[in-house]
């Protein structure tokens, strides 16, 4: 797992219910995506050198427990799968000790040639780094909830 550290949750990230506003979960976890991309070689230097980046094309975010103002949290990240131009990443926002999952997000990213701004295969050096990271993370247990979608009755009101 890769770890992203955060400062205590600031007041301006919280809503009128006194907990982390839903949008800031995504803001915080997007920094965890940056941690994964940095390790994969797509930090600022790598993006500039390869004229290449990654764009998020889908997220599935689950809110599990309240996060309160001043609370310290960390993200634990796992590369679930990858291919020639996609990454599937799992992040868990956890309490400071890392023992309780507060939110989880599954992300799909696609590699992008920044000169054409179209999807493209990972540059060879990046591909090799991703493959190495994928092999290390394949040894980690598959996270509960990965691959889940929103479930409700197909249509109408069931109340």
Residue matched to tokens 């995506």: 33
Residues contacting 136, CB < 8 A, separation 6+ = none
In order of their start, the domains of the chain are 2-137 (3.10.129.10)
pLDDT digits (tens, 9 = 90+) for 68-90: 999 999 999 999 999 999 999 99
Quote the tokens at residue 38. 């940095």
DSSP 7: P
**Is the pLDDT at 116 greater than 60, yes or no?**
yes
What's the rounded Cα separation, in Å, for the pair 52 and 101?
Answer: 33
What is the per-residue pLDDT for 152? 66
Write the burial class of residue 37 (CB in 10 Å: 0-12 exposed, 13-18 middle, 19+ buried): buried
pTM of the model: 0.92
What's the rounded Cα separation, in Å, for the pair 4 and 20?
Answer: 18
């Amino acid at each position: 797992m890769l770890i992203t550290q955060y400062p205590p949750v600031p007041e301006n990230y919280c809503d009128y219910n006194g907990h982390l506003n839903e949008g800031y979960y995504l803001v915080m976890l997007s920094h965890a995506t940056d941690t994964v991309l940095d390790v994969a070689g797509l930090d600022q230097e790598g993006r500039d050198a390869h004229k290449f980046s990654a764009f998020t094309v889908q997220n599935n975010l689950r809110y599990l427990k309240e996060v309160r103002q001043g609370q310290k949290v960390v993200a634990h990240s796992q590369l679930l799968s990858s291919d020639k131009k996609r990454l599937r990443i799992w992040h868990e926002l956890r309490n400071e000790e890392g023992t309780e999952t507060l939110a989880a997000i599954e992300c799909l990213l696609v590699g992008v040639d920044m000169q054409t701004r179209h999807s493209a295969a990972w540059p060879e050096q990046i591909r090799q780094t991703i493959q190495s990271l994928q092999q290390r993370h394949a040894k980690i247990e598959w996270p509960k909830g990965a691959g889940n979608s929103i479930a409700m009755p197909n249509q109408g009101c069931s109340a």
